[in-house]
Structure 1
Amino acid sequence: MENQPLDLDQTMEESNAKELKVFKKRNWKSYIKEFFMLFLAISLGFFVENQREAYVENKSAKVLAQSMLEDLEQDRKALQEGILFMEEKDQNMDEFLRMLHAPGGDWDTVAFYKSMTMVFSTFPFSPTDGTYSQMKSSGTLRYFDQRLVNKMNAYDNQLKKTVFRDELIEKAEWELVPLAATLINFEVTGELRFNKPITKETYIKIQDQDTLDLFINKVAVVRTMTGRSLQEYKAQLLLSEDLIKEIKDKYKLY
Structure 2
Amino acid sequence: MEVHHHPHVEKKNFKEYFLEFLMIFLAVTMGFFAEQMRESVADHNREKEFMKSMLEDLKTDTAKINSFSMQANVALTQMDSLIHLMQSRDRAKYGRTMYYFGRTITTKLRRFELNERTYEEMKNSGSLRLIRDGALSDSVSKYYASQTHFKEQSEIQIQEMIAYIHSAVKVFDGAVFQNMLQKSPYRVNPPQGNPQLITNDAAIINEFVGLLHYYSAEVLINLSYAVQEKDVTIRLIKMIQKKYNLQ
TM class by shorter chain equals 0.7 to 0.9
- In structure 1, the partner of 2:118 is 131
Of the candidates 110, 124, 127, which is equivalent to residue 140 of structure 1? 127
The change in CA–CA distance for 1:223 and 1:62 in structure 2 (over 3 A counts) is same
Aligned mates of 2:171, 2:121 — CA distance in 1:
48
For residues 75 and 40 of structure 1, the distance between their equivalents in structure 2, rounded to whole angstroms, comes to 51
Q: Which among 187, 200, 214 is matched to residue 194 of structure 1?
A: 187
1:91 is displaced (CA, Å) by: 2.0
- Are residues 1:96 and 2:82 paired? yes
Once the two structures are superposed, the pairs formed by residues 112-191 of structure 1 within 5 Å of their partners are: 112-121=98-107, 122-145=109-132, 146-190=134-178, 191=180
Query: What TM-score do the two structures reach when normalised by structure 1?
Result: 0.80
1:3 corresponds to: none
Which amino acid counterpart does residue 238 of structure 2 have in structure 1?
K
Query: For the structure 1 residues 203 and 84, does the alpha-carbon distance in structure 2 shift closer, same or farther, using more than 3 Å as the test?
Result: same
Number of aligned positions between the proteins: 230
Mapped partners of 1:194, 1:115: distance in 2: 13
Q: How well do the aligned residues superpose, as a CA RMSD in angstroms?
A: 2.5
Unpaired stretches in structure 1, ≥5 consecutive residues: 1-22
Q: Which amino acid aligns with 1:65?
A: M
| TM-aligned CA distance change 1:251 to 1:162, over 3 Å | same
Q: Relative to total residues, which structure has the larger helix share, 1 or 2?
A: 1
Measure, in 1, the Cα distance between the counterparts of 2:84 and 2:194.
24
Q: Would the alpha carbon gap of residues 143 and 234 (structure 1) be closer, same or farther in structure 2, given more than 3 Å must change?
A: same
Letter in 2 for 1:72: L
Question: CA 1:237/1:42 → structure 2, altered by over 3 Å: closer, same or farther?
Answer: same
CA distance in 2, matches of 1:187, 1:161: 38
- For residue 225 of structure 2, what is the aligned residue in structure 1? 232
Structure 2: how far apart are the matches of 1:91 and 1:35? 82
Cα distance in 2 for residues equivalent to 1:127 and 1:199: 39
Task: Give the C-alpha shift of residue 175 in structure 1.
Answer: 1.4
Give percent identity, aligned residues only: 23
TM alignment of 1:6-17, pairs within 5 A: none
In structure 2, give the amino acid aligned to 1:250: K
Change (3 A) 1:168 1:200: farther
Q: Which moved more, 1:165-174 or 1:98-107?
A: 98-107
Specify the alignment match of 1:204 in structure 2: 197
> How far has the Cα of 1:105 moved from its partner?
4.3
CA 1:187–1:66 in 2, change beyond 3 Å: closer, same or farther? farther
Shift, 1:247, TM fit: 1.3
Distance in 1 between residues matched to 2:17 and 2:211, nearest whole Å: 87
Unaligned runs of at least 5 residues, structure 2: 1-10
TM alignment of 1:50-89, pairs within 5 A: 50-89=36-75
Q: Which residue of 1 aligns with 2:6?
A: none
* 1:196 to 1:118, Cα distance in 2 relative to 1, 3 A: closer
Q: Distance in 2 between matches of 1:203 and 1:229?
A: 32
